[in-house]
Amino acid sequence: MLLAHRIRLAPTPAQRDYFVRAAGTARRVWNWALAEWNRQVAAGIKPNAMALKRQFNSIKYSDPDWQDADGQPWLRTIHRDAHAQPFANLAKAWTHYFKQRRTGQHAHRPRFKKKGHCRDAFYLANDKFRLEEMVAVLSKVGRVQLCEHLRWPGKIIGASVGRCADHWYLSVQVDVPDHVAHFRRMDDGVTGVDLGVSAAATLSNGEKITAPRPLAAALRRLRIRSRRLSRKLETAKATAGIKGQIPKGTRLPVSKNRTCGTRALARLHARIARVRADFMHKLTTRLCRENQAVVIEDLNVRGILANARLARAISDIGFYEFRRQLQYKAVRYGTQLVLADRWYPSSKLCSACGAKYSALGLGERVWACTTCDALHDRDVNAAINLQRLATGVLATQSALPVASSAVTPGTAAGNGPAGGGKVTSARHEHGQQDGSGQEENGVHLCPPS
């Protein structure tokens, strides 16, 4: 299976300078290709990435736009992978855009990349570099020191060099043999996971896992650094004599002070991202390692993010990333990932008797079932309902040993009606939903990606 390893680089100042120029080249070529693509569409020509690349190759050494002050074509100093790959990327971006449009998803066209506002990265084809223990040998750059060695054996598919705050990283994509990539599971539990705001994740055994909330902890510092930076921006605007909105296409004078401020803010953002990633990886690994099936809700993240009050907490935890990691780790551990339909009322069903409590409000952390008087913690109840969904699905599939033996001893469902040998089908679970017409696609097993 394809796995990627991102390794921090320790480049010399000259190598760092090359990286900056190569990433800048990749950005500029992308912008050239996109502008040309748009121009051809406007002129009624059907653009094609390969043709665009040929067109670019014919001008890249002769066009004055691509020559430095001495009239020398500076592209000769950058490896060609850096300026060939943007064409392939652009073709991919358009294909993706049209596919999203066809399937009725929210889509936006490929955008121009702005210096300082886009990811600085460039591509390396697998035959243009090699790894020797703690050194990467890149063409036109030479030997670059790595901070750790490549984790995976296998065939290297490709790599890219990218910047994150102050550091440069080499991301290597490796086709890892299955016997290396696949792990043994340590347990055969079935766990429902409810993602939330008060606790990042609540498991169906009642365990609540709180996120380190890096954003909340660093928020004060973030506010200070952002304010400092915006003051510097105001100064730059005043120097340039601009009042109000900065007109499109203007370049503000860049002071050393402002560059430092930008860097400090970027470093803090990068640190927050690292803390978040660490927490997320540990949680998703643990879930896949200990369970034969994990059930999560297929959340309508875009819808929730539209709610400003919830937005920060949710984007801090990172639902998309959570699901993406579970998806690929489930393959590695042979765990079945089950996605509950976003209309499945996991919070509103009573996990003891199955009655639906429609009047449940967003703020009700604890509620009592009106039918059987059971008192429920909102998140734990939802997680148990999700877990029951899995036992039902697994039983109808009969691919995995389920029923009572599958339920981890001591879990709440193990004591409840769903765990004790009687397995309700997913279909039946859904029958309790009021006719929203969603019964058919109530739950789906996540295909191995």
Residues that bind Zn ion (CB under 5 A): 350, 352-353, 355, 369, 371-372, 374
CA distance 387 to 336: 12
- For residue 440, give the amino acid letter: E
CA distance 119 to 170: 14
CA distance 25 to 46: 26
Write down the least CB distance from residue 372 to Zn ion, Å: 3
> Do 320 and 339 contact (CB within 8 A), yes or no?
no
Write down the least CB distance from residue 416 to Zn ion, Å: 11
CA distance 178 to 333: 11
Write down the least CB distance from residue 386 to Zn ion, Å: 17
Nearer to Zn ion, 352 or 394 (CB): 352
Nearer to Zn ion, 369 or 389 (CB): 369
CA distance 75 to 58: 13
Pairing of strands 189-195, 291-297: parallel
Nearer to Zn ion, 272 or 412 (CB): 412
Write down the least CB distance from residue 384 to Zn ion, Å: 12
Write down the least CB distance from residue 376 to Zn ion, Å: 8
Nearer to Zn ion, 79 or 348 (CB): 348
Compute the Cα dihedral for 19, 23, 24, 28 and give only its sign: positive
Write down the least CB distance from residue 353 to Zn ion, Å: 3
Write down the least CB distance from residue 365 to Zn ion, Å: 17
Write down the least CB distance from residue 354 to Zn ion, Å: 7
Nearer to Zn ion, 227 or 422 (CB): 422
Q: Is 361 helix (H, G, I), strand (E, B) or coil?
A: coil
> Do 180 and 152 contact (CB within 8 A), yes or no?
yes
Nearer to Zn ion, 110 or 354 (CB): 354
Nearer to Zn ion, 22 or 384 (CB): 384
Nearer to Zn ion, 86 or 416 (CB): 416
Nearer to Zn ion, 219 or 355 (CB): 355
Q: Which residue has the tokens 């034969």?
A: 292
CA angle 14, 17, 22 (to 5 degrees): 125
CA distance 45 to 55: 14
Write down the least CB distance from residue 343 to Zn ion, Å: 21
Write down the least CB distance from residue 351 to Zn ion, Å: 8
Nearer to Zn ion, 82 or 369 (CB): 369
Write down the least CB distance from residue 356 to Zn ion, Å: 9
CA distance 71 to 62: 9
Strands of 28-177 (E only): list them.
Answer: 121-125, 129-132, 135-138, 142-146, 155-164, 167-175
Strand partners, 7: 170
Interhelix angle 319-333/256-290, nearest 10 degrees: 40
Query: 89: which 2 tokens?
Result: 């990327």
Query: 123: which 2 tokens?
Result: 């591509």
Write down the least CB distance from residue 355 to Zn ion, Å: 5
> Do 395 and 173 contact (CB within 8 A), yes or no?
no
CA distance 439 to 433: 8
Strand partners, 174: 3, 156
CA distance 46 to 24: 28
Nearer to Zn ion, 396 or 432 (CB): 432
> Do 145 and 11 contact (CB within 8 A), yes or no?
yes
Nearer to Zn ion, 96 or 422 (CB): 422
78: left (phi over 0), alpha (psi -120 to 50) or beta: beta
> Do 300 and 290 contact (CB within 8 A), yes or no?
no
